[in-house]
Amino acid sequence: MQTLELDRIECLIFDLDGTLVDSEVLCLQGYCDTVPDLDWDANYIAAHFRGNKLNYIVEQIEKHIGRSLPETYEETYRARVAELFEQSLQSFPGVEQTILALPHPRCIASAGPLKKMRHSLGLTGLLPLFEPHLFSSYVVGSWKPEPDLFLNAAKAMGFAPEACLVIEDSPVGIEAARRAGMQYLLHCPDGHEPPADYDGPCFSRYADFPLLPK
């Protein structure tokens, strides 16, 4: 079991969806809303594909429904998610207060495109707390569980991997942090259970974030 070595942490690398903003269900609902013959609900997709890249999820949907989705599907999907965000996206309780109280340099490393990241952060008022330190898999060309996104973020921020703490909500994100040689912390909001095979540190409320000044 990994325990946090707080005195070694110099930089915080946050995931975005499901970690800072409560967007995971909205993102997954986007698949349900744009594929009428899909008999999976958002909870099923979360249980089986949480944190995976869009192309992989689309491939699994196509296998399940027995047909290919249109070439323009990603555009349709992202437009629907943007609508859902406009309607109801929120940050998790206490995120802004906690971020402002942490003295560490910080950034976001997300699998989503930069446009989507800025939209989410803008809607929730978090953008000024992180910009310009936003890192996207679409720019790096690598997706979790590969470590490249986190390693790229650490290098750009000027810190060695072992000095970074990754805050994630998904098993693939935690695995990417492990492969990058970084410490990791699982965000598991109230009402959620950590993965059965996860034995590392976790927190449920930002008011209990382990690095907050005492």
CATH at residue 109: 3.40.50.1000
Q: Do residue 124 and residue 194 come from a single domain?
A: yes
Q: Do residue 49 and residue 131 come from a single domain?
A: no
Q: What confidence score (pLDDT) does residue 1 get? A: 60
Q: What confidence score (pLDDT) does residue 103 get? A: 94
Q: What confidence score (pLDDT) does residue 93 get? A: 96
Task: Please report whether residue 213 resides in a domain.
Answer: no
Task: Please report whether residue 118 resides in a domain.
Answer: yes
Domain that holds residue 82: 24-88
Q: What confidence score (pLDDT) does residue 47 get? A: 83
Overall domain count for the chain: 2
Q: Please provide the distance, in angstroms rounded to a whole number, between the alpha carbons at the two ends of the chain.
A: 25
Q: What confidence score (pLDDT) does residue 49 get? A: 86
Q: Do residue 177 and residue 191 come from a single domain?
A: yes
What residues are annotated to the active site? 15
| Three-state SS at 126 | coil
Profile the chain (214 residues) by mean pLDDT over runs of 10 residues.
87 96 91 95 87 89 96 94 94 97 97 94 97 96 96 98 96 95 94 81 95 88
Q: Do residue 71 and residue 171 come from a single domain?
A: no
Q: What confidence score (pLDDT) does residue 53 get? A: 85
Contact 57, 31 (CB under 8 A): yes
Angstrom distance (rounded) from CA 205 to CA 214: 16
Which backbone phi and psi does 19 adopt, to 5 degrees? -115, -55
Task: Please report whether residue 197 resides in a domain.
Answer: yes
Q: Do residue 141 and residue 55 come from a single domain?
A: no
Q: What confidence score (pLDDT) does residue 46 get? A: 84
Q: Do residue 174 and residue 190 come from a single domain?
A: yes
Q: Does the predicted model carry a pTM greater than 0.75?
A: yes
Residue 85: closest CA among 46, 126, 47, 137: 126
Q: What confidence score (pLDDT) does residue 195 get? A: 79
| Six token digits for residue 183 | 């410490």
